[in-house]
Amino acid sequence: MSVHPVVHLVGAGPGDPELLTLKAIRAIRAATVLLVDDLVGAGVLRYARRSARIVNVGKRGGCASTPQAFIEKLMAAEAHKGERVVRLKGGDPFVFGRGGEEAEHLRALGIEVEIVNGITSGLAAATSLGAPLTHRDHAHGVMFVTGHARGEDAALHWPTLAAAAAQGLTLVIYMGVATVESLQQGLLEGLPATTPVAVVQHASLPSQRHLQTTLVDLAAAVRREGLGSPAIIVVGDVLHAAKRMNWGVGDSLAA
């Protein structure tokens, strides 16, 4: 009897294996083949069975990456062979994880896709500072955006986002460190120079470093402290709550 091919797209969370969901752990334990992104915390793989084949398919902006077409072809081939395939992604597969593209490709080939959500790094970064992404006194909504748009035509218009943030929204920027000067310049067109900003590198891990500064000093502070990818930038008045609680985890950098 033939087995209907299935691929699980599993969110591994921000890095700390204790932040995995129970459903993610069950999927990892059941997998015979795991395709693992660079940003998956090393401790997450302790749940994999010893006999599982682990294929590292690094995907990180600004670095040499495994071609997406190769990853999709490999997932499909292993699933059709009857393997229990898990595509393991940092954060959540449907939040800047290309999970949507992969699900569309697999379903077009007649392969069933199951999504297992994970804690996205934007949420983990804010929480590590004690900053809520929404707060009745500071923000009634949140925007998740990427600073690494695909192609020039897809580039974000930062002044427009700044105008929305000025209405009471927290702005969470993924992959924004490499373009921090341009996003800072655009946001300053619609937000006060004194708007609080935090940058969190390696959120949830023992190696976490973060700084809290203001929008006008953002780019200079990032360069001075040498923060790089993977990092999350949080912009908004919710950071005032974190400052009041004097809450921070890991290596904090004043700026």
pLDDT averaged over the chain? 90
Rounded Cα distance between 185 and 191, Å, is 10
Residues 127 and 244 in one domain: yes
pLDDT value at 219 more than 70: yes
Marked catalytic residue, from 75, 89, 92, 175: 175
Query: Does residue 60 lie within any of the structural domains?
Result: yes
pLDDT in tens, 86-123: 999 999 999 998 999 999 999 999 999 999 999 999 99
Instruction: Find the largest Cα–Cα distance for the chain.
Output: 65
Residues 46 and 152 in one domain: no
- With respect to residue 148, please indicate whether it lies within any of the assigned structural domains: yes
Q: How confident is the model at residue 151 (pLDDT cuts 50, 70, 90)?
A: low
Of 116, 138, 168, which marks where a domain is finished?
A: 116
Chosen domain end from 116, 144, 168: 116
Whether 1 is a known active-site residue: answer no
Q: Which of 37, 75, 89, 92 is catalytic?
A: 37
205: containing domain:
121-254
CATH (domain of 103): 3.40.1010.10
Q: Residue 251: its pLDDT value, please? A: 44
- pLDDT band of residue 249 (cuts 50, 70, 90) is very low
Domain count of the fold of the chain: 2
- Name the nearest CA neighbour of 36 among 22, 19, 15: 15
State yes or no: pLDDT of 241 exceeds 90. no
The answer to whether residue 59 is catalytic is yes
Q: What is the pLDDT of residues 20-64, one digit of tens each?
A: 999 999 999 999 999 999 989 889 999 999 999 999 997 655 455
Whether residue 90 sits in one domain with residue 60: yes
37 is catalytic: yes
Does residue 77 share a domain with residue 53? yes
Tell me, yes or no, whether 164 and 207 share the same domain.
yes
Q: How much is the pLDDT for 248?
A: 47
Selecting among 23, 59, 237, 251, the annotated active-site residue is 59
Does 132 lie in the same domain as 226? yes
Domain contains 1: no
Give the model confidence (pLDDT) of 190-201 as tens digits: 999 999 999 999
